[in-house]
C-alpha cells in the first residue's frame, strides 16, 4: 500500500487542479490504511503524518478550486510537492519576525474569530508593537478605532455609524499616502485597486477576513479583529491585527486614506497588516513588486528600463496584452533624480508610482500613472519624446489625484524600473523548494562551490519561470534602519536606493553543463544560457525556454549579502510538469585545501626567477580518472593560474619548460580559474598555483574533484623548509670567463643541494653542479637540468645529495668539494646582474669565494 501511495504522490507532483486533488485523496487513503496495519509504532506515526499532510494539501486544493470558481477566474496552481522535514523546519523558523509569529496558513479562520469579545466584553487588541519614526512620534495621538477617527461635527459622522460604511467605496477608489514612508505599499494598493473591487474576481476575497462573498467586499469585524492571508517567507501566512489606526494631533495621517471615500477602512487595514510584517510605520522602504507579491501572491518581475538589453516593442506588447487580460499589475519606480530635475520634470526621486491604465492613442503608447503621495507634483512633460503632447491626449493631468498620462518612450527615459506582477494562474504547474544558505566566505564568493544549484528537466520547450524569494529576518531591518539613519545625516551623498543596496544582491542563471544537469564550478566554466540581473530586491525572477528532455542547471548567486545565513524559497512555474532536484557534482569526490601567497611564497608567473617559490602540491593519482581543479581568491582583480607538472621525484619544481607541463588553466584569469581534464593517468604530479606578478599577496582555496576517493594531495615544502641557507657572493663572469667554482666545506655528514638564479633580463645559459675534486679525477655528484645548460633566470637546482666529510677527503684526489657554475654564451655577469647562488643544507657548512677555472 505504501508503494501505491508513493506512486500517487509522484503523479500528484505532475498534476494540477482536479487531477492533483484525486491523487492527493488516493494517497491519503492508502497511507491511512497502511498506518492502521503497521505493527511498529514508529511506522504508524510516520504513515499517519504522511496521511495528515496529504489531507491538508487536499483541503488547500479544494479551497483553491472553490475560490477560483466563486471569483470566476483561473485556478492558481498550488505546489503539490511534499516538503522534506528540513524544509518544514525552515518554514516554521521563518514564522518568527520582529517579535511576532506569523504561522503558515492551513485553513480559513473560524467566523467566530470576528464576533467573540474578550472576557470583559472588550474588542480585540493586538498586543504587537508598531514602531514609529521620530518625526511620526512628534504628532502621534494614540491608537484609535475607526469610529473615533471620524472628526466630530463632520457631516460623514452619521453615515459612518453604519459599520458596513467602513468597507464600502461609493466612489472611484483614490488612495493617497501622507506621512508614512511607504510609497511602494500605497502605489501597490492603487495599482491593484481594480482587482480588489472587480466583479471578475476580487483578490480581497483571499486576502482579508472576514469577507462578504456576495457583496464582494470585506466585512466589518464585530470585535475589531482582522486576519490577513499574506505571502512571505516561503508560505501563505496568518497576519492578525486589530482595527486601531495611528491618530495624529494634526490633519495629517500616518495611514493610507481614500480621498474620495474618506471613511473607507480596508486599505488602511491592509497597510497596517503589511507594515506589521515589515517592522512598523517607520518603514525604511521596499519596492511595489515585492509588496504586491506579499499582498496577492502574484509573481514579481523587475524590468530594468535603463538596460541596453530592453526591447521596447516586445515589452510594450507583452505588458499591454497581459494588462488587458487582467493578468498583470503594473507599477513604476524612479531612480536617484537630481533635485533640480525633480522640479523640472515633476517626478519624485526614488519613488514608486502606480500604473492605472494603458492605451494607444494614434502613434503614441500611453500609460496612466498615479503618484501615491497625498499632495505632490505630477509630470510636466519636459523633455517628452511623444509624437503628441501627452497632456492633451485622452485627458489632462489630474492634479487633485496626482494622475497623468505619459508616453511609453518617456517612461523608459525617466523611470528606472517597471515592476510587473503576473497572475500565477497563467501556469498549470508550480513546485516549491526551500533551503538554507550560509553565505560563502569572501575567498569563495567568485566561484559556485557553495552556491545552491538545481537540475531542471522539462518534457517540452514551453516557458518556465523561476522565482527566488529571500526570507526576511530581523537583522535586515536593523541594517536598513541604521543605513537610513546615516542617510538622514548625509542627505547629499546617500539615498534610499543606496540604503536598500546595503542588503546585497541576488541573481539566477541557467547553464548547459556536461554532463547535463550537474553543478557549475564557476561562471566561465560552462555555457550560460540565460543570465539574470543582480537585483537588490528580496525577489528575483528568471524566465527561460527549456531544452526539451535535457537537464539544465539553475545557479543561485549573491553579492554582498550582509548576514551570515539566509533561508530562501524557489518557486517553479510551468505549463508542463518539471523534474527538479539538487544538481549533483560532475565528479563525486572533492577535497578542498586553503593556503596563501605570502611575501615568501608569491613568486609570480613562470617568466619570473621566483616562480619556484609559489605554493606547490604533490598530487598522487592511484588509477586513471577525470580531474578538475578550481582555484578561488577573495580578490576580483588578482590574476591567478594553475599548472599541473610532471613530477620530478617529489621535489620542488624550480623551473618550468613546455615539456614539464601536463596541463594548465587559461592564462591568468582574474579572481578565480578552473582546470578540467577528461582523464589523467595514474602517477604523481606537481600542482603549482601562481599569481601573475611576484609579491601579489592573497589567501586562496583550491578544490580538487575526481571519480576517486583515494586521491592524495600534500603540500611540497619549500627548498628552505628545515634547511640552513648559505649564500655565495654574487657570481659574475668577467674577462671572458665561462666557468667559476667556489669551495664548500663540511664538518659532518650533511644533506644539501644548490640553487642559482640570475636576473630576469639575463641572456646567459648556465649549468650548476656539485663536484668532488678537480682535474681529471673529479666526479660530479649533482648537476642541474640533467646536465643541460638552461636559462638561469628561471632558476637552476641540483638534486639533493648526502655528503660525508670522510668521503670528501678520500676522493677526487683529496681536492675537496666544489660548487661549480658554468656559462654557455651570454654576456659577462649573467646579463649584467650577476648570478645568485645559495646552498641549502641540514647542517652547518662554509663556502669560499668564487674563482675562475677555465684553464682546467
Arithmetic mean of pLDDT, 7-26? 78
In this model, does residue 159 exceed pLDDT 90? no
Range 724-852 classified under CATH 3.40.50.300: no
In this model, does residue 749 exceed pLDDT 60? yes
pLDDT of residue 707: 96
Residue 686 forms beta bridges with which residues?
Answer: 618, 645
Contact 689, 807 (CB under 8 A): no
Q: Indicate the pairing of strand 589-597 with strand 698-706.
A: antiparallel
pLDDT of residue 788: 87
pLDDT of residue 73: 64
Q: How far is it, in rounded angstroms, from Cα 796 to Cα 789?
A: 9
pLDDT of residue 649: 56
Local confidence band at 386 (pLDDT 50, 70, 90 cut-offs):
very low
Q: Which long-range contacts (CB under 8 A, 24 or more apart) does 396-401 make?
A: 400/259, 401/174, 401/259, 401/370
Phi-psi region of 822 (alpha: psi -120 to 50; beta: other; left: phi over 0): beta
User: What sign results for the dihedral spanned by CA atoms 575, 576, 581, 584?
Assistant: negative
Q: What percent of the chain has pLDDT over 70?
A: 89
Q: Using one digit for the tens of pLDDT, what is the confidence trace for 579-588?
A: 999 999 999 9
Arithmetic mean of pLDDT, 521-539? 92
pLDDT of residue 394: 41
Q: Which residues of 456-481 are buried (b: 16+ CB within 10 A; e: fewer)?
A: bbbeeeebbbbbbbbbbbeebbebbb
Closest C-alpha to 670, from 553, 524, 570: 524
Fold (topology level) of 589-715: Jelly Rolls (2.60.120)
Q: Using one digit for the tens of pLDDT, what is the confidence trace for 420-437?
A: 999 999 999 999 999 999
Local confidence band at 494 (pLDDT 50, 70, 90 cut-offs):
very low
Q: Which of 64, 371, 421, 737 is catalytic?
A: 371
Q: Using one digit for the tens of pLDDT, what is the confidence trace for 685-721?
A: 999 999 999 999 999 999 999 999 999 999 998 777 7
Residue 791 forms beta bridges with which residues?
Answer: 765
Q: How far is it, in rounded angstroms, from Cα 744 to Cα 808?
A: 10
52 grid coordinates: 495528515
Helices 266-278, 288-296: axis angle to 10 degrees equals 110
Arithmetic mean of pLDDT, 102-112? 93
Q: How far is it, in rounded angstroms, from Cα 605 to Cα 313?
A: 51
Local confidence band at 35 (pLDDT 50, 70, 90 cut-offs):
confident
- All CATH 2.60.120.380 domain ranges of the chain, comma separated, are 427-580, 589-715, 724-852
pLDDT of residue 152: 42
In this model, does residue 440 exceed pLDDT 70? yes
Q: Using one digit for the tens of pLDDT, what is the confidence trace for 447-481?
A: 999 999 999 999 998 999 999 999 999 998 888 77
pLDDT of residue 480: 79
Q: Which of 51, 183, 190, 672 is catalytic?
A: 183
148 grid coordinates: 473615533
pLDDT of residue 387: 42
Q: Using one digit for the tens of pLDDT, what is the confidence trace for 39-96?
A: 888 888 888 888 888 787 777 777 666 665 555 567 889 998 999 999 999 999 999 9
- All CATH 3.90.70.10 domain ranges of the chain, comma separated, are 303-420
CB-count burial class (<10 Å; 0-12, 13-18, 19+) for 395: exposed
Fold (topology level) of 427-580: Jelly Rolls (2.60.120)
Across 34-48, 354-368, 802-816, which has the greatest mean pLDDT? 354-368
pLDDT of residue 398: 57
Q: What Cα–Cα distance (Å) separates residue 353 from each residue in 290, 304, 329, 365, 472?
A: 14, 15, 12, 18, 24
Q: How far is it, in rounded angstroms, from Cα 395 to Cα 672?
A: 57
User: Which carries the bigger pLDDT value, residue 322 or residue 363?
Assistant: 322
pLDDT of residue 109: 94
pLDDT of residue 388: 40
Arithmetic mean of pLDDT, 321-331? 96
Catalytic residue check, 371: yes
Local confidence band at 390 (pLDDT 50, 70, 90 cut-offs):
very low
Q: Indicate the pairing of strand 739-746 with strand 851-852.
A: antiparallel
Q: CB-based contacts of 44: which residues, under 8 Å, 6+ apart?
A: 35, 38
Arithmetic mean of pLDDT, 822-848? 78
CB-count burial class (<10 Å; 0-12, 13-18, 19+) for 28: buried
Q: How far is it, in rounded angstroms, from Cα 562 to Cα 576?
A: 37
Arithmetic mean of pLDDT, 478-491? 67
- 2-16, 67-81, 280-294, 403-417, range with the lowest pLDDT: 67-81
Q: How far is it, in rounded angstroms, from Cα 220 to Cα 812?
A: 111
Fold (topology level) of 303-420: Cathepsin B; Chain A (3.90.70)
383 grid coordinates: 523633455
Arithmetic mean of pLDDT, 161-187? 83
Contact 833, 761 (CB under 8 A): yes
pLDDT of residue 150: 66
Q: What Cα–Cα distance (Å) separates residue 268 from each residue in 82, 190, 261, 439?
A: 36, 12, 12, 37
- In DSSP notation, 90-131 reads HHHHTTEETTEE-PBP-SPPPGGGGT---TTSPPP------B
How many angstroms from the chain centroid is the CA of residue 727? 52
Q: Which of 8, 23, 327, 351 is catalytic?
A: 351
Contact 798, 649 (CB under 8 A): no
Arithmetic mean of pLDDT, 127-149? 91
Contact 294, 230 (CB under 8 A): yes
Contact 675, 642 (CB under 8 A): yes
Q: How far is it, in rounded angstroms, from Cα 158 to Cα 791?
A: 101
Q: How many CB atoms lie within 10 A of CB 695?
A: 13
pLDDT of residue 490: 55
Quote the mean pLDDT of the chain: 87
User: Which carries the bigger pLDDT value, residue 400 or residue 405?
Assistant: 405
Q: CB-based contacts of 138: which residues, under 8 Å, 6+ apart?
A: none
Q: How far is it, in rounded angstroms, from Cα 385 to Cα 413?
A: 9
In this model, does residue 530 exceed pLDDT 80? yes
In this model, does residue 856 exceed pLDDT 90? no
pLDDT of residue 178: 83
Q: How many CB atoms lie within 10 A of CB 846?
A: 11
Sequence-ordered strand ranges (E) for 313-446 = 328-333, 352-361, 364-370, 403-407, 417-422, 429-438
pLDDT of residue 493: 43
In this model, does residue 6 exceed pLDDT 70? yes
pLDDT of residue 582: 97
pLDDT of residue 610: 80
In this model, does residue 247 exceed pLDDT 60? yes
pLDDT of residue 391: 44
Q: What percent of the chain has pLDDT over 90?
A: 56
Closest C-alpha to 609, from 479, 731, 714, 762: 762
pLDDT of residue 344: 86
Amino acid at each position: 500500500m505504501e508503494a501505491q501511495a508513493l506512486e500517487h504522490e509522484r503523479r500528484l507532483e505532475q498534476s494540477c487542479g482536479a487531477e492533483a486533488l484525486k491523487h492527493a485523496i488516493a494517497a491519503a487513503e492508502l497511507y491511512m490504511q497502511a498506518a492502521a496495519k503497521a505493527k511498529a509504532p514508529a511506522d504508524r506515526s510516520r504513515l499517519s503524518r504522511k496521511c495528515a499532510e496529504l489531507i491538508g494539501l487536499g483541503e488547500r486544493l479544494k479551497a483553491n478550486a472553490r475560490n477560483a470558481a466563486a471569483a470566476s477566474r483561473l485556478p492558481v496552481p498550488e505546489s503539490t510537492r511534499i516538503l522534506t522535514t528540513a524544509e518544514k523546519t525552515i518554514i516554521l523558523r521563518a514564522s518568527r519576525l520582529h517579535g511576532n509569529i506569523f504561522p503558515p496558513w492551513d485553513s480559513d479562520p473560524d467566523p467566530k474569530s470576528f464576533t467573540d469579545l474578550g472576557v470583559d466584553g472588550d474588542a480585540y487588541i493586538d498586543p504587537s508593537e508598531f514602531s514609529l519614526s521620530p518625526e511620526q512620534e512628534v504628532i502621534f495621538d494614540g491608537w484609535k478605532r475607526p469610529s473615533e477617527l471620524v472628526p466630530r461635527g463632520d457631516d460623514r459622522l452619521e453615515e459612518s455609524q453604519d459599520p458596513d460604511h467602513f468597507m464600502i467605496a461609493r466612489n472611484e477608489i483614490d488612495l493617497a499616502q501622507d506621512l508614512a514612508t511607504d510609497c511602494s505599499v500605497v502605489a501597490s494598493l492603487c495599482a491593484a485597486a481594480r482587482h480588489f473591487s472587480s466583479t471578475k474576481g476580487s483578490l480581497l476575497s483571499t486576502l482579508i477576513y472576514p469577507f462578504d462573498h456576495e457583496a464582494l467586499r470585506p466585512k466589518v469585524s464585530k470585535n475589531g479583529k482582522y486576519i490577513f492571508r499574506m505571502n512571505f517567507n516561503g508560505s501563505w501566512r496568518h497576519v492578525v491585527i486589530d482595527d486601531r489606526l495611528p491618530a495624529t494631533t494634526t490633519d495629517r495621517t500616518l495611514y493610507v486614506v481614500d480621498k474620495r471615500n474618506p471613511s473607507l477602512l480596508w486599505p488602511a487595514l491592509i497597510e497596517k497588516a503589511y507594515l506589521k510584517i515589515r517592522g512598523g510605520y517607520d518603514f525604511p522602504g521596499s519596492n511595489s513588486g515585492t509588496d504586491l507579491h506579499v499582498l496577492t501572491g502574484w509573481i514579481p518581475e523587475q524590468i530594468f528600463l535603463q538596460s541596453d538589453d530592453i526591447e521596447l516593442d516586445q515589452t510594450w506588447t507583452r505588458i499591454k496584452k497581459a494588462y488587458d487580460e487582467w493578468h498583470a499589475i503594473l507599477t513604476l519606480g524612479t531612480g536617484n533624480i537630481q533635485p533640480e530635475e525633480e522640479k523640472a520634470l515633476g517626478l519624485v526621486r526614488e519613488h514608486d508610482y502606480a500604473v492605472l491604465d494603458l492605451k494607444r492613442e494614434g502613434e503614441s503608447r500611453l500609460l496612466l500613472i498615479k503618484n501615491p503621495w497625498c499632495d505632490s507634483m505630477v509630470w510636466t512633460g519636459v523633455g517628452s519624446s511623444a509624437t503628441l503632447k501627452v497632456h492633451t491626449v485622452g485627458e489632462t493631468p489630474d492634479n487633485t489625484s496626482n494622475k497623468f498620462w505619459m508616453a511609453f518612450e518617456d517612461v523608459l527615459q525617466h523611470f528606472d524600473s517597471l515592476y510587473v506582477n503576473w497572475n500565477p494562474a497563467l501556469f498549470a504547474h508550480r513546485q516549491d523548494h526551500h533551503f538554507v544558505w550560509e553565505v560563502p566566505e569572501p575567498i569563495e564568493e567568485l566561484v559556485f562551490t557553495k552556491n545552491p544549484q538545481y537540475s531542471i528537466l522539462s518534457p517540452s520547450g514551453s516557458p518556465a519561470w523561476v522565482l527566488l524569494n529571500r526570507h526576511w529576518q530581523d537583522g535586515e531591518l536593523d541594517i536598513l534602519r541604521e543605513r537610513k539613519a546615516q542617510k538622514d545625516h548625509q542627505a547629499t551623498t546617500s539615498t534610499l536606493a543606496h540604503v536598500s543596496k546595503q542588503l546585497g544582491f541576488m541573481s539566477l542563471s541557467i547553464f548547459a553543463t556536461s554532463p547535463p544537469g550537474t553543478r557549475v564550478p564557476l561562471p566561465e566554466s560552462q555555457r550560460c544560457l540565460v543570465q539574470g540581473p543582480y537585483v537588490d530586491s528580496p525577489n528575483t525572477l528568471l524566465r527561460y525556454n527549456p531544452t526539451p528532455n535535457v537537464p539544465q542547471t539553475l545557479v543561485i548567486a549573491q553579492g554582498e549579502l550582509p548576514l551570515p545565513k539566509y533561508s530562501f524559497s524557489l518557486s517553479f512555474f510551468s505549463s508542463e510538469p518539471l523534474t527538479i532536484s539538487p544538481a549533483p557534482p560532475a565528479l563525486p569526490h572533492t577535497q578542498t585545501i586553503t593556503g596563501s601567497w605570502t611575501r615568501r611564497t608569491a613568486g609570480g608567473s613562470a617568466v619570473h626567477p621566483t616562480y619556484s617559490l609559489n605554493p606547490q602540491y604533490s598530487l598522487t593519482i592511484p588509477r586513471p580518472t577525470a580531474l578538475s581543479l578550481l582555484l578561488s581568491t577573495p580578490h576580483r582583480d588578482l590574476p591567478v593560474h594553475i599548472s599541473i607538472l610532471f613530477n620530478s621525484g617529489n621535489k620542488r619544481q624550480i623551473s618550468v619548460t613546455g615539456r614539464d607541463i601536463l596541463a594548465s588553466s587559461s592564462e591568468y584569469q582574474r579572481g578565480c580559474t578552473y582546470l578540467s581534464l577528461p582523464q589523467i593517468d595514474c602517477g604523481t604530479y606537481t600542482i603549482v598555483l601562481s599569481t601573475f606578478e611576484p609579491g601579489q599577496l592573497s589567501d586562496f582555496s583550491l578544490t580538487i574533484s575526481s571519480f576517486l576517493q583515494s586521491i592524495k594531495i600534500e603540500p611540497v615544502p619549500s627548498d628552505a623548509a628545515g634547511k640552513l641557507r648559505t649564500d655565495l657572493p654574487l657570481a659574475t663572469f668577467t674577462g671572458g670567463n665561462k666557468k667559476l667554482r667556489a669551495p664548500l666545506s663540511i664538518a659532518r655528514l650533511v644533506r644539501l643541494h644548490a640553487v642559482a638564479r640570475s636576473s630576469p633580463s639575463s641572456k646567459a645559459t648556465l649549468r650548476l653542479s656539485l663536484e668532488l675534486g678537480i682535474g681529471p679525477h673529479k666526479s660530479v655528484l649533482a648537476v642541474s637540468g640533467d646536465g643541460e645548460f638552461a636559462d638561469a633566470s628561471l632558476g637552476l637546482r641540483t638534486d639533493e645529495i648526502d655528503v660525508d666529510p670522510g668521503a670528501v677527503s678520500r676522493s677526487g684526489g683529496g681536492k675537496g668539494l666544489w660548487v661549480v657554475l658554468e656559462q654557455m654564451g651570454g654576456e659577462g655577469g649573467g646579463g649584467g646582474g650577476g648570478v645568485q647562488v645559495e646552498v641549502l643544507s641540514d647542517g652547518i657548512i662554509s663556502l669560499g669565494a668564487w674563482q675562475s677555472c677555465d684553464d682546467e
